[in-house]
Structure 1
Amino acid sequence: MATDPTPPSMYLEDMDEVRRVFNRFDTNNDGKISPAELGGVLKALGSESSPDEVARMMGEIDTDNDGNISLQEFAAFCSAEADPYHSAEKELREAFELYDENHDGKISAAELHKTLLRLGEHCSIEDCAGMIKPVDANGDGYVSFEEFKKMMTNNKK
């Protein structure tokens, strides 16, 4: 199995990308995702998950049952070998749909702005348009799902 060329997930091409996504969830940078951090991210993305739902999600991912999600557990959850019903691609699609409020298949600067405000980020619509521009491969001023995947998995240097 050590020579298995399967990437860690359907959309995360390598462990560096898995780590970058993990770090977005690990808001206090302690190297683990707590139930509160998971619940906070879900709430910021518009999901009104109950404490029981967050506990269920934690139970699925926290395989050593220490009450937190480690980077290794997160990588295993994101892997292509994880339950296909809860694939990383599906999770990313659900996140995209939370940004795409009018469900037209693309994220506008206004939609990005509104979501970032819910996440506690303070920026202008012009700032959001500036964030969209580098990932807007077709130049239409919007972020498609494919462009969204790139934006979510690539950190600025």
Structure 2
Amino acid sequence: MATEGTTTTTKPCEYLQDMEEVKKVFSRFDTNGDGMITGDELSGVLKALGSDTSPEEVIRMMDEIDTDKDGCINIEEFAAFCKNDDSLDGGAKEMKEAFDLYDQDHNGRISATELHQILNRLGQSCTIHDCTRMITSVDSDGDGYVCFEEFKKMMGNK
């Protein structure tokens, strides 16, 4: 039994820097495009990303983010959640968790193939070539992959 006020929720988007980025992420969660994220939509995206988030944790996340208590998360609530930076580490743990979702083989690097798999699971239609271009655009050491440091820089860009 959880005690009120002791629930901690992973903030998957603390690194978002502007409203356009927030809107892009929101639209990926809002799979039916109705302007609201339901618990089922949140759960579906988390599962597509490989998370084994329990139904109880999804309920806790919804309770935390859904401030008007209408049962759904609107863009304003999502944006407020994303901008809330009460973490002492500046979101480093959350950033690493996000990186790990993309790094499917856990080798510390995101390949174009891994990026392609995740984006397609999220319903984004893109080719391997598109993903290779995305990787190249942030691959500062030229090795053909995105390492965690490159990922942090990419997510921190405005």
Q: Tell me the TM-score normalized by structure 2.
A: 0.73
TM-score under structure 1 normalisation? 0.73
| 1:41 and 2:37 aligned | no
Are 2:61 and 1:57 equivalent residues in the alignment? yes
Instruction: Report the alpha carbon displacement of residue 57 of structure 1 after superposing the two structures with TM.
Output: 1.0
Q: Is the 8 A contact 1:92 1:149 kept in 2?
A: yes
| Alpha carbons 1:116, 1:122 under 8 Å: kept | yes
Say which is worse superposed, 29-38 or 130-139, in terms of deviation. 130-139
Given that residues 85 and 91 in structure 2 are in contact (C-alpha distance below 8 angstroms), is that contact kept between their aligned partners in structure 1?
no
Please give the alpha-carbon distance, in whole angstroms, between the structure 1 residues aligned to 2:94 and 2:41. Answer: 17
Per-residue displacement from partner, 1:128-157 (whole Å, max 9, x unpaired)? 323322232332200123443566688xxx
How many pairs align? 146
- What are the Cα deviations for residues 34-79 of structure 1, in whole angstroms up to 9, with x where unaligned? 1111111100000122222211111111111111111121122112
CA distance in 2, matches of 1:87, 1:34: 27
Moved beyond 3 Å, runs of 4+: 85-92, 116-127, 146-154
Note if contact 2:48-2:122 (Cα within 8 Å) is conserved in structure 1. Answer: yes
Q: 1:103 to 1:153 in 2, by over 3 A?
A: same
Q: Quick check: 2:36–2:72 contact (8 Å CA) kept in 1?
A: yes
1:30 paired with 2:34, answer yes
Distance 1:123 1:72 in 2: 28
RMSD across aligned C-alpha pairs, in angstroms? 3.0
Measure the CA separation in 2 of the matches of 1:115 and 1:72: 26
Name the CA distance, whole Å, in 2 between partners of 1:65 and 1:103: 38
- More deviation in 72-81 or 42-51? 72-81
**Stretch of structure 1 that moved more, 116-125 or 92-101:** 116-125
Aligned partner of 1:105 among 99, 104, 108:
108
Cα 1:37–1:58, aligned 2, differ >3 Å: closer, same or farther? same
Tell me the residue number matched to 2:23: 19
Tell me if the contact between 1:80 and 1:87 (Cα under 8 Å) persists in the aligned partners. Answer: no
Change (3 A) 1:80 1:58: closer
